[in-house]
Each structure stands twice: as structure tokens, then as C-alpha cells.
Amino acid sequence: MDISSVQKLCIHLISSAVQRCRLSEDLCRLSVVLKSSPPIIRVSISDTGTGSCLEEFQDLKCNREGIGTEKWGISDNKIYHYHLNLRGSVSARRLTRLPSIPKNDAKFSGTEMLILKIPSVAAELLIERGDASGLQCENVFLPNECSPSNFSSSNVERLKSGLEEYVLKHRNSLNNKCDSCFCSRGKLKISSGVACSMESHRSPGLIVEAVIAISELSESLCFRSSGNKTEVLHFKDFSPSSVSIASLNALTSIDWRSYGLTLVSAVDQVDHALIEWENLPPYLHIDMVIHCYHKQYPTPCSTIQILVITYPGKYKYQPDRHLIRKGVKLALDDLKEKHTGLLLSAHAVKICSYAPDLASSIAGIILSSNDLKFRSKCSSLLELSQSQEIGKQTVEDRIKEKIISVIETNDRKPEKIKEAAPFLFEDDRLQDLDPADLYLEEHEGGDDVFSFPD
């Protein structure tokens, strides 16, 4: 593994620690201690998970320029403490950010860690500043801070609650949920999809979990760095991962138009993919996370191998784009299913634009009829009270509502069901006809064009 920045190294170390905790299947404590004694900042990561071995770190290559480690030792003792000392130049830069460090650090530990929430792990962040004040702050992250997730919840449920928390905290730039943006629950809509590949002699059986969160921040005053571009976080085997080509392919090959979205680009930003949309309303924000893992991802009995995972060469370990796409599409379909009007396809939006006209004509037919019995029957079908005089607008609005709801329901059905039925008996008349005949037929009935004045 090539480590090119302090942040990445920390993430790597922390996620390794989380893995150990996860595999212990017992209550664990994970500590990240930042000790500041200018010009050096010391990051210490410790956990009470299962034991690790030295091989874990043998493959870890540190880019000297990026990190500039002076020395860092591994004390392979029983409490598994790893220390990382950073050289002055880099630490100085980190030190300048100190006033906001509680947040920033929550971001780097929280961003990635809390999304994969493991209920049995309590994480803490300790910052010791070696300046005159001797300030020490402590921050313990509890996994069930925002929404309760218990020991029995599935991986995808935990991923979901993790992303939810991440979004509510503005991509973890806040310590707590942003109350001004998410004052009501309806502003955040979140769904997940799980796609599995069959276990076979060629493939070990992979699982792709995708979680998508859509937030509507109508009058948000909060600053968000990436505008309304979408960050797609990637995890592999319960650790943050880089963006695979398969994943980028999957993201670009999804028919976003059927969800009313127009993709401009999906680019690899190393630790996440960044999707740019066309004409996405400024108040709409989409966040996504994709987690791919092996169906039989190492269980506690094989703890020693976990972090140096090797799969037999015959296994195609990378999930292909089809599986990733399936997972993302399932999540999108789930969102569409649960929230009326959300992610309406471009096609459905177009059809909905006819609703006012259709409603106006139908209302016209009802209200201009001189048959009172017919009118009252219509009113009752539209669930309008018959006692008072009903205005055209009321009738029109009610019909429009119903038409739009039908179109939205239709849009949620899978393509196949939608297409099949109505065209079983489609007429082939026009194919039979000579085009020249059709042209003439047009003129045949159009006798008014040359009509005489009355």
C-alpha cells in the first residue's frame, strides 16, 4: 500500500484498528490521541480489538516527501500501540489549524470511520496541546449518536445510518447535526441497495452495498465546499478505499435520466468519485457511498490474515461494474419507491407537464355538462364534497393531483412491466401503408382547406 499523505496514513491505521475491533466481536475501544508539543504533533492510535501482526505493516510504503516520518516504531506488545511522529514542517501546518482541530479531526476520523459504524466500538479522540494552557479536549464518538443502531443490525443498515449522520453533519464538518438545515426530518431522504454476485468456482461471491442520501436544503446558509456535486465515498472490505475503474464505469453507465438526473461527469478524486450534474436544483444535494466486500469476508477465526488479505488467483476479486451499477440502481429505485415525486424520470416529468391541460379538459367536460347526476357522480369519484358549490379550480386541481400521482406510480414500476402490456396488440396498419398513400390521405379529409365561403 502506498501512503502519500499523513491523512491517508492515519485513515489507514485507524481503519486497520477498526477492523481489529470489528473482528473481535466484543466491545472495543478505539483511541486516537493527538499530542501536540510544537513543532511536533504525535498521533497515537490504539484499539482493544484482536491482535495484529507485523506483516500488516510490512507492505506499508511511506512517501518520504509527503509524510516525512522521522522514525516510527511498532511496539508489538499486548496492548497494540502504534505511534506516529510527524516532522516539524508538516506538523507546523497542522498546528496552524489547531483552533478548529476538534472539527477537522472529527472529519478525518469521523468521515470515514463513522460511516462504517460498528456498534461494538466506541471511538475516542483526544487532543493534547503542549502549549502553556495545557489544554486537553476529549471527544468520544458513540456509534449510536444520531440514530440507534444495535448489535443485530445488518452491515447495510449501519452504512445507512453512518451516511445519514455524515450528511446531517455536513459531511462531518460539524460535530453535531446541523439544526438549521435539517430542522425537519423530511429534508433528508436515504435509501440503500444491496447487490450480490453468486458464489462460484470463479468468483468468491461479492456484495455491493450502495447508500444514497438526498437532502433538500432550501435556504441553507451553511457553506458546502463541493456545491451540489455529489461525492461518492468508496469502501472496500470495511475500509475506505480508492475509486476503482469498475466503479467509475458503473457510475457513468447508469441511465440517470430515468431518475431525472443528467450526468455531466464522474471523476476519480482518489478517495472518492465526484459526480457533476446538469441542471440539478441548487437546493438538492446527493451523497452516496459504495461498499464492496467479499461475502465471506474474514471472520474472527482467521484474524491474522485479515489485513494482509490474499485471495486465490483464480478469484476475480474486483466487483464488476454491473454489480456496482445494480447496487446503486437498487438504492435509487428504493428512494423512488419510498418518496413520491422524488427522482422522477425526465420522461415522467415531461408527461406530468400535460397534467394541467388534461385536468382542465376533463374538468371542463364535467362542469359544462348539464347533467347534474353526472356531475355529482364525478364529484364523489374525486372525493369532493357535494354540498357546496365546487369551483372549476378545485375540480381541476384534484384531477391534476390524481393524474400526477398515476404518472409517478407508473414511473416507479420497472421498465419491463411498463412496456409489455399495452403493446401486445399494437396495430401494424401504418407499416402496411405506402407512405405516399398516407400523404394523400391527409389531403383527402382536409376538404376545408379549399372550402367555399358559406
Partner 1 sequence: MEGIRSSTRSRDLLRKIKEFTLSILEALSEGRSPLIFIQSFRTYCTNLDSICSCRSNKPSGHEILTFQKESHVHRIDVLLRVLLIVQQLLQENKHASKRDIYYMHPLIFSDQSVVDRAINDICILLQCSRHNLNVVSVGNGLVMGWLRFFEAGRKFDCINSPNTVRMGEWPIQFLCLLRMLKVTNKYLVSAALYILVVEKESVFQRLENDKFCSKNRCIVITGRGYPGVPTRRFLRLLMDKLSLPVYCLVDCDPYGFDILATYRFGSMQMAYDAKFLRVPQIQWLGAFPSDSENYDLPKQCLLPLTIEDKRKTEAMLQRCYLHQEVPDWRSELELMLQRGTKFEIEALSVHSLSFLSEVYIPSKIQEIKSICQV
Using CB under 8 A as the criterion, which residues of the chain lie in contact with partner 1 when the complex forms?
Answer: 347, 350-351, 354, 357-358, 361-362, 364-366, 368-371, 374, 377-378, 381-383, 399, 402-403, 405-407, 409-410, 418, 422-423, 425-429, 432-434, 436-438, 440-452, 454
CA 253 to chain centre: 17
Closest to partner 1 by CB, 207 vs 399, is 399
- Nearest distance in Å: CB 382, partner 1: 7
Q: How many other CB atoms are there within 10 angstroms of residue 235's CB atom? A: 20
Q: How far apart are CA 275 and CA 262, in angstroms?
A: 10
**Degrees to nearest 5, angle at CA 395 with 394 and 397:** 65
- Nearest distance in Å: CB 379, partner 1: 10
- Nearest distance in Å: CB 434, partner 1: 4
- Nearest distance in Å: CB 429, partner 1: 5
- Nearest distance in Å: CB 405, partner 1: 7
- Nearest distance in Å: CB 254, partner 1: 22
- Nearest distance in Å: CB 304, partner 1: 57
Closest to partner 1 by CB, 156 vs 344, is 344
Q: How far apart are CA 413 and CA 415, in angstroms?
A: 6
Q: How many other CB atoms are there within 10 angstroms of residue 380's CB atom? A: 11
Give the position of cell 384534484: 398
* Cα atoms found within 13 Å of the Cα of residue 434, Cβ hemisphere only: 4
Q: C-alpha grid cell for residue 195? A: 447487490
- Nearest distance in Å: CB 329, partner 1: 20
**109 closest CA partner among 52, 57, 56, 31:** 31
Closest to partner 1 by CB, 30 vs 362, is 362
- Nearest distance in Å: CB 377, partner 1: 7
Compute CA distances 132 → 43, 101, 128, 129, 241, whole Å.
20, 17, 11, 8, 39
Tell me if 26 sits within 8 A of 120, measured CB to CB.
yes
Phi, psi dihedrals of residue 24, rounded to the nearest 5°: -70, -20
Closest to partner 1 by CB, 59 vs 441, is 441
Instruction: Name 229's Cβ contacts closer than 8 Å, sequence gap at least 6.
Output: 274, 275, 276, 277
Closest to partner 1 by CB, 264 vs 433, is 433
Give the position of cell 389531403: 443
Closest to partner 1 by CB, 26 vs 401, is 401
Q: C-alpha grid cell for residue 97? A: 489549524
Cα dihedral 364→369→370→372 (10° resolution)? -100
- Nearest distance in Å: CB 423, partner 1: 8
Closest to partner 1 by CB, 29 vs 347, is 347
- Nearest distance in Å: CB 312, partner 1: 49
Closest to partner 1 by CB, 182 vs 259, is 259
Q: How far apart are CA 262 and CA 228, in angstroms?
A: 13
Phi, psi dihedrals of residue 13, rounded to the nearest 5°: -65, -40
Tell me if 205 sits within 8 A of 197, measured CB to CB.
yes
φ/ψ bin of 25: left (φ > 0), alpha (ψ from -120 to 50), beta (otherwise): left
Closest to partner 1 by CB, 414 vs 422, is 422
Closest to partner 1 by CB, 264 vs 438, is 438
Tell me the chain's radius of gyration from C-alpha atoms.
Answer: 29
Closest to partner 1 by CB, 105 vs 411, is 411
Tell me if 96 sits within 8 A of 34, measured CB to CB.
no
